[in-house]
Amino acid sequence: MDANESPKESPIIKIAAFIVDKRNLFFLVYAILIIFSLFSQNWVSVENELSAYLSEDTETKQTMDLMETEYTTFGSAKVMVSNVSLAEAFKIYGTIQSFPGVSETSFLPDYLNPDSTETPDEDEELDIGEIREHYSNSSALYNVVFRYAEDDDRALESLNGLKAALSPYDLHVSSELGDVQAEAIEKEMTTIIAVVGIVVLLVLLLTSETFGEVPVLVLTFLAAAIINKGTNFLMGTISFVSNSVAIVLQLALSIDYAIIFCNHFKEEREHYDTRDAVVIALSHSIPEILSSSLTTISGLLALLFMGYKLGADLGTTLTKSIIISLVGVFTLMPGLLVLFSNLMLKTKHRNLVPKIPFVGRFAYATKKFIPPLFLLVIAVGFVISSKCPYVYGYSNLKTPIKNDAQITEDMISDTFGSDNVIAINLPSHDYYKISKIADYLDAMPEVKKVTSLSNTEAKRGYMVSEPLTPRQFSEMADLDYDVATMLYGMYASDKGEYGRVIGGIGKYRIPFIDIFMFLHDKIEEGYVDLDADDREDIDDTYDKLLMARKQLQGKNYERILVYLNLPEESEETFLFLSGLHGIIDPVFESEMDEDPSLRPLIAGQSTSEMDLRYQFEKDNVVVSVVSLLFVLVILLFTFQSAGMPLLLIAVIEGSIFINFSFPALKQENLFFISYLIVSSIQMGANIDYAIVIGSRYVECRKTMGRKESIIETVNFAFPTIITSGSILAIAGTVIGFLTSDGAIAGIGQCLGRGTMISMFLVLFVLPQILLLGDKIISLTAFSVSRPIRSKDEHGIIRVDGMIQGHIDGQIIGTVHGIVRGNVRASIASGDIEKLADNEGQDIREFLQESRKEGSADRSSDNV
């Protein structure tokens, strides 16, 4: 086709032409979307708790939902002050206890204060272990509870005020109030994005053929990244993992599409003007890029089948980012290519990516022993990777760096130990049943202590929820017995229990917390009159009881907190948790028979990790099978062969086995979600490198021998693989070593390492596999080609039919025309015929006339 001839208008050409010709309209649309996204990205709700993504049928998730409706969780903090004497520690305790917004503070009893004259009762003396829970190595630890719920801004304000008040001391505060961890991750990701951005620019500069293409690629990606981040609010809530890594993985996974389009444009620009070159390049790129993106998207969509909903969250977020990147390449990049076309022509430079024919020659020389060796490596990798030490919480994870919150948490746990708490929710308010459970658990060697209304002392040996007679209550509350009797009668009348009044109020038992709250209400209403000191004491006790009730007693359930002597994640812990229901459930059979929807429920960090372990066993199989099937189906349609897809998948599956053998060999704990996500991305994205090799090899085998084909294949594929693969590998590695979050670090490290392994295998193992499996590929093809004839003619030759070969350069296609020059090609259909000399003279005259007419037309155009 002549350089001045417009391309034929097929439907895809018409679409491409519309996009190019309306580029200013698309520029305007993208400008509006970018401005909107810069504002809307602040609307995104981020979930910072991984346990929120547990499946609805897990006990931990059900218990968490229950506790949100039944109880109020007040803001709290662990406050450690270092380098203080015991006397100073008690002064600080007084400061914290009297600070506005603080409800209660746990510390040592006053009789341990060197400045105190108090003496302990016989049953109050603490052992040295209990003392060291609050004062050890010249450091004091205070457990502070604020008056406000943890989602109330006043709780965070109180915490910040307390920090300011204690700022003269060597202070360390650990709290879940505020978004400390999220803020730390956001700062880290800013650094990561900057580092990855610089590295990607360097890679593009080194692998580009013209410096002018770099701003086109960068602007296309930036627009897609901003719009993707700005549209995350449409998903409602996304996880902090997705919010953190999406932009970097979007770049690494989708930069290929822009590079493919740019390369097509540079090829077409040699023959057409800018506008037509962009149109033709876009028409060629759309099907090729869509085909390439299918494997990546299919790998991400496999995450949607996970029972643990974090996979669906990340899979959906990244799939959306890939689709937005595709749309950006198809609609924004064409206009940018037109805009930067002249700059691209002026900034051409020598291609810095070398040819590597020696790799192809090495592949041919080692084709007989590399594949069997690789099979052995796969088998060993499978066995070793199956022993990978997965963990399901952060307690056993090491991260390459630590943020301030983690450093503080480590200092507190190193000095005072850490708490492993579970919440047991019992479907009853029966004091005797709950106290029975609390006492039984408290006596178990695995349990450090138990906190509940049934075992928390109110006064004089009576417990907060213990049922008391009027006599007992009057003694405990320092009330006149007649006042107490009257109060009990009013309570019975209020509850409609008139038989209690008639049958003798002296034997009526009411839980202390209920009758005390009733007393406070009657004082407020004026039915009971007390002096100022007694009233202040009642109000003070009322506030504490009200907070205790909100935290531990709901409408249908009562909660007890169990502090374990067990590590957060271990087989011993999981075994202990598994046996708890056998102890608790029989006690509440009557309540469960009366209302089957009510049953004991247990939640805690340990139960969450136990549920995640069981979930992982299912998700591992589901994600592996689904991602493999998706990719296999796509490859079957791509190659029209059963053998080729199996060979390509074997290489990538092998890279996955090898990748996850590293943490097994080094005995480094790996967060389980890292395996599920990275294995899906490897299968979906790294398979593209194998597809490039496989497609080119099949194409070359039509006209070349095996040795020439593999040399040409590796030379052709190397620039694409090294550009795309290095970006993904570097992005993953940077994420893995510059973040303090265990889940994100695991994803990054495994993705970076896995991509490098995939690149190595695709370049140094797959060629040998293709050479050895050449016959398998041919025999398993869905269609059998007709015999191909070869001809080598010189002079003026008529070409008529589907050919592949060289006509002073390579050509593939159905050709009907005359060639003046050399033809060396294989004939799939039609024929190649050398013309006689007299026919050749006629053709020469025709070509000379055509050139004269073309020159005249161009002169007219210039005028």
% residues pLDDT > 70 (the chain) = 87
Mind giving me the DSSP string for 410-462?
A: HHHHHHH---EEEEEEES---HHHHHHHHHHHHTSTTEEEEE-TTSSEEETTE
The pLDDT value recorded for residue 699 is 80
CA distance 376 to 381: 8
- Non-local (6+) Cβ contacts of 516 within 8 A are 458, 477, 541, 542, 545
Quickly state the pLDDT bin for 785 (edges 50, 70, 90): very low
Q: Which two tokens stand for residue 350?
A: 């020598």
CA distance 651 to 377: 11
**Residue 58, SS3?**
coil
In this predicted structure, the answer to whether residue 5 has a pLDDT above a threshold of 50 is no
Going by their DSSP bridges, the two strands 237-239 and 135-136 should be labelled as unpaired
| Mean residue pLDDT across the chain | 83
For the segment 211-220, the average pLDDT, to the nearest whole number, is 89
Number of H helices and number of E strands within the chain? 33, 20
pLDDT tens track for 117-131: 666 665 555 667 678
Higher pLDDT: 832 or 536? It is 536
Higher pLDDT: 70 or 782? It is 70
> In one letter, which amino acid is 294?
L
CA distance 30 to 328: 9
CA distance 164 to 154: 15
DSSP 8-class letter at 395: T
- Non-local (6+) Cβ contacts of 426 within 8 A are 433, 434, 437, 557, 558, 559, 560, 584, 588, 600
The pLDDT value recorded for residue 859 is 43
% residues pLDDT > 90 (the chain) = 22
Count of Cβ atoms closer than 10 Å to residue 53 Cβ: 22
Mind giving me the DSSP string for 201-268?
A: HHHHHHH-SBTTHHHHHHHHHHHHHHHHHHTGGGGSEEEHHHHHHHHHHHHHHHHHHHHHHHHHHHHH
The pLDDT value recorded for residue 32 is 95
Residue 656 has φ and ψ, to the nearest 5°, of -65, -45
Of 430-444, 554-568, 687-701, 783-797, minimum mean pLDDT range: 783-797
Count of Cβ atoms closer than 10 Å to residue 669 Cβ: 18
pLDDT tens track for 523-551: 888 777 777 777 777 888 888 888 888 88
Bridge-partner residues for 511, per DSSP? 467
Q: Which two tokens stand for residue 268?
A: 């077409």
Q: Which residue is listed with tokens 């990798």?
A: 381
The pLDDT value recorded for residue 858 is 39
Residue 524 has φ and ψ, to the nearest 5°, of -60, -35
Higher pLDDT: 118 or 301? It is 301
- Cα 575–Cα 576–Cα 579 angle in degrees, nearest 5: 90
Of 6-15, 112-121, 353-362, 824-833, minimum mean pLDDT range: 824-833
**Residue 640, SS3?**
coil
Mind giving me the DSSP string for 687-747?
A: HHHHHHHHHHHHHHTTTS-HHHHHHHHHHHHHHHHHHHHHHHHHHHHHHHHS---HHHHHH
Q: Which residue is listed with tokens 């897809």?
A: 645
**Residue 342, SS3?**
helix
In this predicted structure, the answer to whether residue 80 has a pLDDT above a threshold of 90 is yes
For the segment 283-292, the average pLDDT, to the nearest whole number, is 83
DSSP 8-class letter at 586: G
CA distance 50 to 44: 17
The pLDDT value recorded for residue 679 is 87
pLDDT tens track for 665-722: 998 999 988 888 888 888 877 888 888 888 888 888 877 788 888 898 888 888 888 8
CA distance 272 to 337: 14
For the segment 643-654, the average pLDDT, to the nearest whole number, is 87
Smallest CA-to-CA distance from 119 within 111, 130, 128 is with 111
Q: What is the enclosing helix (H) or strand (E) of 173? A: strand 170-174
